[in-house]
């Protein structure tokens, strides 16, 4: 009886020592971090990109050299794994916002910092801002935002339309709307908060029907992105062509490139 109890005790002790699987960031956690670490970009814009890039998981990577999708259970293990791949001259997309390793130096990232959600959000915001041209009208701003999102994925302001990436981010923005909205205070708005001089405010990603509603109701908050969305919208996407459905969503040769082509 006493001897038979040992295997059970060993099993229990072993199970207790296993590290827990890291959970993806919750909508509330993501919004709080985005406000703190990347206040000049609308949280919903960053959230839509994060949903496509990592599913809000902070300890993931994509090895562009081998095509592997990677996930770890702790920060130390993840950092070690990325260092090994960088030493082998691999191109790797890392962390919450999948920042490409070729951009680490210019964004002041290390393998350790690339897995930190705050550093990843700040880097993504810099990349988006660098390619966001703005505009004098809401329509022009939305087109500029979609071009910046295209460049985030491919390094080019048009290829992200052709490979379907922009369309995926638009779809993600719709999917996460209700989740992100629940994290807002009753009087809060999904707008960028400029806290550093010289920053360009990167707006929320609005749908076509939302832009039309803004024209009809000029007194309505122009960036209440989730308030008036109509799920059964009709008409062409104002952002431009979406390309072949068979095109790859990821173009690893030059992902989230900072400099202009």
Q: Give tens-digit pLDDT for 50-63.
A: 999 999 999 999 99
79 — pLDDT class (breaks 50, 70, 90): very high
pLDDT at residue 29 in the model: 96
Round to whole Å and give the CA distance between 207 and 233: 9
Express each pLDDT in 187-239 by its tens digit: 455 556 555 567 889 999 986 555 544 444 444 333 333 333 333 333 333 33
pLDDT at position 153 = 98
Decide if 240 is inside a domain.
no
pLDDT at 65 exceeding the cut of 70 = yes
The Cα-based distances of 173 to 57, 82, 103, 111, 176 in angstroms read 17, 29, 26, 29, 6
- For residue 70, what is the enclosing H or E element? strand 69-71
pLDDT tens digits, one per residue of 99-141: 999 999 999 999 999 999 999 999 999 999 999 999 999 999 9
Closest among 173, 169, 152 to 251, alpha carbons compared: 152
Any idea what the CATH number is for the domain that residue 129 is in?
1.10.530
**Residues 60, 68 contacting (CB under 8 angstroms):** no
| 194 within some domain | no
d(CA 160, CA 127): 15
Q: Are strands 69-71 and 99-100 parallel, antiparallel or unpaired?
A: unpaired
Residue 46 has pLDDT above 50, yes or no: yes
Would you give the distance in Å from CA 109 to the centre of its chain? 17
In a domain, 1, yes or no: no
- Has residue 8 been placed in a domain? no
Query: How confident is the model over 90-96, as a mean pLDDT?
Result: 99
- The pLDDT of residue 184: 58
Query: 24 or 186, which is more confident?
Result: 24
> Which of 21, 32, 90 is closest to 58 using CA atoms?
21
Which of 15-19, 217-221, 247-251 has the highest average model confidence (pLDDT)?
Answer: 15-19
- The per-residue pLDDT for 48 is 97
**Close Cβ partners of 126 (under 8 Å, ≥ 6 residues apart):** 107, 258
Run of H or E residues at 232:
none
pLDDT for the residue 206: 83
pLDDT at 224: 31
Task: Report, in this order, helix, strand and coil percent for the chain, each rounded to 5.
Answer: 45, 5, 50
pTM confidence score: 0.73
Residue 239 and residue 173 in contact, taking contact as beta carbons nearer than 8 Å: no
For residue 18, pLDDT beyond 70: no
Q: Which domain holds residue 151?
A: 22-187+199-216
Give 182 or 204, the one with higher predicted confidence.
204
pLDDT score for 257: 55
- Please count the residues of the chain: 261
User: Does the residue 255 lie in any domain?
Assistant: no
Residue 204: closest CA among 158, 169, 242: 169
| pLDDT of 31 strictly over 90 | yes
Residue 223 lies in a domain: no
Residue 140 maps to a domain: yes
DSSP assignment string, 186-205: TT--------STTPPPB---
- Using the predicted structure, report yes or no on whether residue 2 has a pLDDT greater than 90: no
Domain count, the chain: 1
Residue 236: inside a domain: no
């Amino acid at each position: 009886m006493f001897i038979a109890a040992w295997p059970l005790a060993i099993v229990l002790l072993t199970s207790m020592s296993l590290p827990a699987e890291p959970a993806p960031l919750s909508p509330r956690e993501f919004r709080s971090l985005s406000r703190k670490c990347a206040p000049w970009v609308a949280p919903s814009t960053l959230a839509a990109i994060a949903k496509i890039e990592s599913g809000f998981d902070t300890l993931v990577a994509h090895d562009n050299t081998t095509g592997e999708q990677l996930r770890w259970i702790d920060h130390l293990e993840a950092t070690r794994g990325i260092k090994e791949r960088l030493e082998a001259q691999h191109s790797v997309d890392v962390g919450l916002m999948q920042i490409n390793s070729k951009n680490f130096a210019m964004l002041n990232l290390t393998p350790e910092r690339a897995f930190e959600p705050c550093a990843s959000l700040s880097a993504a915001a810099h990349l988006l801002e660098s390619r966001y041209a703005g505009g004098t009208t809401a329509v022009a701003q939305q087109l500029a935002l979609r071009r910046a999102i295209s460049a985030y994925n491919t390094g080019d302001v048009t290829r992200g339309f052709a490979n379907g990436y922009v369309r995926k981010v638009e779809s993600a923005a719709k999917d996460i709307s209700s989740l992100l909205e629940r994290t807002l205070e009753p009087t809060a708005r999904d707008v960028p908060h400029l806290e550093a001089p010289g920053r360009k405010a990167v707006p929320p990603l609005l749908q076509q029907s939302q832009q039309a509603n803004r024209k009809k109701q000029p007194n309505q908050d122009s960036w209440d992105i989730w308030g008036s969305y109509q799920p059964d919208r009709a008409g062409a996407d104002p952002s431009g062509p979406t390309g072949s459905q068979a095109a790859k969503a990821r173009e690893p040769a030059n992902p989230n490139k900072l400099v202009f082509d």
